[in-house]
Amino acid sequence: MQDIPNNIRKLRAAFVLSEDQIKDIAGEFQKSMAHGIQGKESPLKMLPTFLTIPTGEERGIYLTVDFGGTNVRILLVELKGHGDYHILDRYVFPLTSARKDYDFTSEKANGTELFEFIAEQISNLIPTGSDYPLGFTFSFPSRQNKVDQATLIKWTKEIKTSGVQGRDVSQIFQKALLQKGLNGIKIRAVINDTVGTLLTAAYGDKYTDIGSICGTGHNTCYLEPRSPVTGEQMIINMESGNFNVLPFTGYDSWLDQRSEIPGEQCLEKMVSGKYIGELTRFIIRDFIEKGLIFKGSCPEIFFSPYVYKAEDVSTFLEDKGEDLPLIAEWLNTAGISESLLEERVTLKTIASIVVTRSIQLVAATYLGVLQHIDPHFNEKHTIAIDGSLYEHIPGYATMLRATMNNLLRDKPGQAGTKLTKEGSGVGAAVAAALVQ
Ligand code: BGC
């Protein structure tokens, strides 16, 4: 006999991790870091960035372009020293044509078109003839041989633009800027958004040595004390979203097999904003198909890929009312005008289980990094985090902090998490200033 409590119990057992499981994952993560940095086979790419942390003396006005998904953010940033900065101008736009009939992130579009479109938006904002050093945040796995060059290894987050993989995005972008007459805009540094987040926080807080994004995508970078490339300190972009020594469930395999890159970005598919909505939806759909909830109906939203999103997960978790009125309203808008309280509780519980696992897995990787850089937790560390999940999912930041504190039971004060808003964009200005 199928019943809701039993199925929720099974789901919880498969998803929610014990402290020992979290520590085991942290250990595996630490091992993968060590292998990756030594050039041995590892799910962690451990990409050199050719950057170290700022001194706080970096100053000046910089243009930054932040591209890590379907929206691009342009900032004009003034760095004033020691963590102080001012955003002079900002413009955010989607990567679709003005008439919304052309998507620059689809397979149909190519790299030249994509970067010419971005350059055009810059030219609408910045008068021709202006001179600005440009910090470019490009948040996809890219190999760098120097700080102002980055070869895209592979698109993630379901972006599909043709002809960019394997190419130096800096070159394509610089050419597009020239094409639009922006001769005075020179790309000084290409960075990952995790690196931007670390740099922004480190600009004002000397304890920052880990930067992470918990948003549409997921990834973490850290300050490696001795990079094998230079023998000196260097920020390493781990591309930790690709970590894969993880307790995959049947639901995870289902999602993975239907994604653009099956078998890759396993951690990202278990934790990040692009996927937690889809994962939650699929579990809900399974409950519907088992006849546990919404008996006899088949609410379309739970049967359409990628329509139910992380924002909807947020709405479910936000609802603190006894009768869960927000969820009832949400269901109503989705065409389900009548629902039982038990059904609404089930939806909220499923969402909360998926989010709990996301937090636990992210915490496990942070613990792995801390163990790698400071095995006895002798130093203080700030983990700078940006991204919509961390900022907006109710309880995400609080539970992440609590999980970290539990894991570092003997020395809980040694590692703090810190929201670093707009870190990915501002950090590109810090990076450009660092390489002056
Ligand atoms: C990308 C990373 C990026 C992360 C967060 C992942 O999909 O591979 O480079 O840092 O998303 O945006």
Mean pLDDT of 155-169: 95
Q: What is the mean pLDDT of the chain?
A: 96
Task: Please state, in angstroms and rounded to a whole number, the distance separating the CA atoms of residues 18 and 267.
Answer: 18
Rounded distance from Cα 210 to ligand 1 centre (Å): 15
pLDDT at 297: 81
Contacting residues for 255 by C-beta, under 8 A, at least 6 apart: 269, 275, 278, 279, 282
103-142 confidence digits (pLDDT tens): 999 999 999 999 999 999 999 999 888 999 999 999 999 9
Q: Please state the length of the chain.
A: 436
Inform me whether the pLDDT recorded for 243 exceeds 90: yes
* d(C-alpha 349, C-alpha 16), whole Å: 12
Instruction: Find the 221 Cα to ligand 1 centroid distance in Å.
Output: 10
Measured in angstroms, how far is the CA atom of residue 40 from the centroid of ligand 1?
Answer: 22
Q: What are all long-range contacts of 297-306, with beta carbons under 8 Å and residues at least 24 apart?
A: 297/336, 299/331, 299/334, 299/335, 299/336, 300/334, 300/335, 301/334, 301/335, 305/258, 305/278, 306/277, 306/278
Residue nearest to atom 12 of ligand 1 (CA): 217
Terminal Cα distance for the chain, rounded: 68
Quick: pLDDT tens for 320-333.
999 999 999 999 99
Nearest 10 degrees: Cα torsion 280, 284, 290, 296: -160
Residue 157: predicted pLDDT? 86
Question: In this predicted structure, which of 100-104, 171-175, 296-300 has the lowest mean pLDDT?
Answer: 296-300
The residue whose C-alpha atom lies closest to atom 5 belonging to ligand 1 is: 217
Please name every residue paired with 81 in a beta bridge, in sequence order, or none if there are none.
84
CA of 239 to the centre of ligand 1 (A): 7
Ligand 1 centroid distance, CA of 337 (Å): 38
Cα 181 to middle of ligand 1, angstroms: 31
Atom 6 of ligand 1: nearest residue by CA position: 217
Q: Report the DSSP beta bridge partners of residue 291.
A: none
Contact yes or no for 77/86 (Cβ under 8 A): yes
| pLDDT per residue as tens digits for the range 277-321 | 999 999 999 999 999 999 878 889 999 999 999 999 999 999 999
Q: What is the pLDDT of residue 2?
A: 65
- DSSP character string of 247-266: ---HHHHHHHHTSSSTTSSH
Q: Which residues line ligand 1 (CB under 6 A)?
A: 68, 139-141, 156-157, 192-194, 213, 215, 217-219, 239, 241, 268
Name the pTM for this structure: 0.96
- The alpha carbon of 366 and the centre of ligand 1 are apart by a number of angstroms equal to 16
What the block records as the tokens of 396 is: 């995400």
171 pLDDT tier (thresholds 50, 70, 90): very high
**What kind and span of H or E run contains 62?**
strand 60-67
Structure confidence by residue, pLDDT tens digits, 1-29: 469 999 999 999 999 999 999 999 999 99
Predicted pLDDT at 321: 97
Pairwise CA distance, residues 247 & 270, whole Å: 10
Q: How many whole angstroms separate alpha carbon 165 and alpha carbon 110?
A: 11
Summarize the confidence of residues 67-95 as an average pLDDT: 96
Single out the residue of 291, 296, 261 nearest to residue 275, CA to CA: 261
Please check the confidence at residue 398 and state whether its pLDDT lies above 50. Answer: yes
Ligand 1 atom 1: residue of nearest CA: 140
Over the stretch 332-363, which tens digit does the pLDDT of each residue have?
999 999 999 999 999 999 999 999 999 999 99
Is the pLDDT reported for residue 411 higher than 90?
Answer: no
Counting ligand 1 atoms within 8 A of each CB, the residue from 268, 270, 271, 388 with the most, and so the one to mutate, is: 268
Write the residue with the smallest CA distance to atom 9 of ligand 1: 140
Judged by average pLDDT, the poorest of 154-158, 196-200, 371-375 is 154-158
CA 216 to centroid of ligand 1, rounded, Å: 8
Residue spans of beta strands (DSSP E) within 302-394: 381-386
pLDDT band at residue 37 using 50, 70 and 90 as cut-offs: very high
Give CA–CA dist 333/285, Å, rounded: 18
Contact 165, 152 (CB under 8 A): yes
Q: Shortest CA distance to 408 belongs to which of 355, 366, 357? A: 366
Q: What is the pLDDT of residue 1?
A: 44
The residue contributing the CA closest to ligand 1 atom 2 is 140
Helix (H, G, I), strand (E, B) or coil at 100: coil
| Residue that wins the pLDDT comparison between 70 and 271 | 271
